[in-house]
Chain A
Amino acid sequence: MTEQLGVLLLSCVRHQGYYAPLIAKHTRLRIAAVADEADLPERWHTVNREFAAQYGVEYIPDVAAALARPDVALVSICSEPTRHAQLALKAARAGKHIWVDKPMAITMEEADALVNAVEAAGVRFTYVHFLYAPMIRHARQLIERELGSPRAIHADFVIGRGLQSGTVEDFRLVVDPKLSGGGEATNLLGYTVDYIRYLAGADVTQVYASMGTHFFEPHREFNVEDLATVALTLQNDLVATTIVGRAPTMRAALGDFGLRIYTDNGMVALDHNQPRLSVYGSNETAPRGMPFYEEPGDDAVEPLLDAFVDCIINRSEPLRGVRDGRRLIEILTAAYRSSASGSAVHVPLVN
Chain B
Amino acid sequence: MSLIIGIVGNNAQAEEHADALAGLPADRVAAIRCRPEDLDQLLQRTDVQAVDLCVGLPAQTELGIRVAKAGKHVIAALPIASSLTDLHALTSSCHDVGVRLIVTGTAEYSGLMHALDNALASGQIGVPVALRLVWIEPANLENVGTFDQELFCLSARALYIAQHIFGSTAERVYAQRMHGAEAGKNSARYTQLMLTFAENATAVLELRCGADNHNYHMLMLLGTQGAAYYSQPEEGVVLTGSHSHMIDAPNTPASVREWQAILKSIQSGERAASNSHALVECLAATMAARLSYERNEAVRPAELVQQGILS
A342 in the interface (beta carbon within 8 A): yes
A256 in the interface (beta carbon within 8 A): yes
Residue of B nearest to A214 (CB): B129
Which chain B residues border A249 with CB–CB below 8 Å? 222, 226-227, 240-241
Which chain B residues border A215 with CB–CB below 8 Å? 129, 224
Q: Which of A100-108, A270-278, A307-315 contacts B (4 or more CB under 8 A)?
A: A270-278
Give the size range of A's interface with the partner: 35 or more
**Interface of chain A, helix or strand or loop or mixed?**
strand
Q: Which of B60-68, B148-156, B196-204 contacts A (4 or more CB under 8 A)?
A: B196-204
Nearest CB on B from A289, distance (A): 8
Contact A214 B190 (CB under 8 A): no
Q: Which of B7-15, B73-81, B206-214, B272-280 contacts A (4 or more CB under 8 A)?
A: B206-214
Contact A285 B190 (CB under 8 A): no
A127 to B200, CA, bound (A): 30
Contact B199 A156 (CB under 8 A): no
Contact B200 A210 (CB under 8 A): yes
Q: B residues within 8 Å of A by Cβ?
A: 127, 129-130, 132, 134, 136, 172, 174, 176-182, 190, 192, 194, 196, 199-202, 204, 206, 208, 211-214, 216, 218, 220, 222, 224-227, 229, 231, 234-235, 238, 240-241, 244, 296-298
Q: Give the number of A-B contacts (CB < 8 Å).
A: 145
Q: Which of B179, B202, B235 has the most CB of A within 10 A?
A: B202
Contact A241 B224 (CB under 8 A): no
Residue of A nearest to B181 (CB): A264
Contact A156 B216 (CB under 8 A): no
The 9 A-B residue pairs with the shortest CB-CB distance in the complex, in nearest-first order: A212-B200, A229-B202, A264-B181, A237-B179, A239-B176, A214-B129, A282-B212, A151-B178, A249-B227
Which chain A residues border B229 with CB–CB below 8 Å? 251, 273
Q: A residues within 8 Å of B by Cβ?
A: 148-149, 151-152, 154, 156, 158, 206, 208, 210-212, 214-215, 227, 229, 231, 233, 236-237, 239, 241, 243, 247-251, 256, 258, 260, 262, 264, 266-267, 269, 271, 273-274, 276, 280-285, 287, 339, 342-344
A249 to B119, CA, bound (A): 15
